Amino acid sequence: MRTGFLPLWFGTSARLNEKRNHLIRLVVLTVLLMIHLLAADVYAAQPLVNVDGEEKVSHPAHEGKRFWSRLYFGSFDGEENLGKLENESGGFTFGGGISVKLPKRKHFSFDLEFWMTERDYDTTIPAPMFSVIDERMTLSTDALLIGVGGFYPPAGRFRVHGTAGIGLYKSVLSVWGSTLGLPGVIEDEEVSLGFHAGGGLEVSIGPYVLGADYRRWYLEGSFGTFGAHNVDIGGDYIGVTFGLSF
């Protein structure tokens, strides 16, 4: 756990720190998009005929494919914790990952994913050192998840899939306020283990994979600086998926 008070004078360091975190997330998202677009270009550049001049034989979608890379965009509905985390007002969520089909297991894969989510709250909680608390509180969570996925059918244009596993979650709760007229932000960081499960429906269009996904995070955290212990910081994600199979 890491706690700290960040004053907003002399260059507004806390706001700059917040912008830096948003920039890091934007860079990660941009890199993932570039990888997807590059892979799509490589796939599209493949010749439509074999070396001997014969036309290639088409195969069902996903047949012979062992890897899938995906990007996730959607909304995250966090759990309400009365007196601690309540009145969620918005935020953003995105993620990316890769799935590798398990050897000799045509219906199962190993999944590795990285997620980022930020939730804003209209209702704040008491914070030490602040004489005035702004009506602003943010919970940011970065997650590294591993799991096992299942899908059916193994080849075909449409398929359903599910996944479940464990993950390492880093959450930062930030409360804005002021003391003696000097604005600042107090942060408390929590690193914890959690679980996830979910599933969705995908459709293949050439090398592309489009779909809809649902995820459930089972996660607790404690932010002792604010007197918020054993808080349920999990929730439900619903969004769209864009990916590539190769």
> pLDDT 10s digit of each residue in the chain, 246 long?
455 545 443 334 444 455 555 556 655 665 655 555 555 555 544 554 555 555 554 444 455 567 888 999 998 888 888 778 888 887 788 898 888 988 767 788 999 999 999 998 887 888 877 777 777 789 999 999 999 998 888 667 888 999 999 999 999 999 888 887 778 888 999 999 999 999 999 998 878 889 999 999 999 999 988 888 899 999 999 999 998 887
pTM, entire model: 0.76
Residue pair 141/170 in contact (Cβ under 8 Å)? The answer is yes
Q: How far apart are CA 171 and CA 189, in angstroms?
A: 6
Provide the pLDDT for residue 27. Answer: 59
Which single residue is written with the structure tokens 């050897």? 103
Provide the pLDDT for residue 78. Answer: 86
Pairing of strands 132-152, 2-7: unpaired
Q: How far apart are CA 81 and CA 164, in angstroms?
A: 25
Q: How far apart are CA 85 and CA 188, in angstroms?
A: 14
Q: Assess if CATH 2.40.160.20 describes domain 2-44+67-245.
A: yes
Provide the pLDDT for residue 181. Answer: 75
Provide the pLDDT for residue 128. Answer: 78
Provide the pLDDT for residue 91. Answer: 79
Q: How far apart are CA 103 and CA 108, in angstroms?
A: 9
Residue type present at position 164: A
Residue type present at position 45: A
What phi and psi, each to the nearest 5 degrees, are found at residue 38? -65, -45
For the chain, domain boundaries: 2-44+67-245
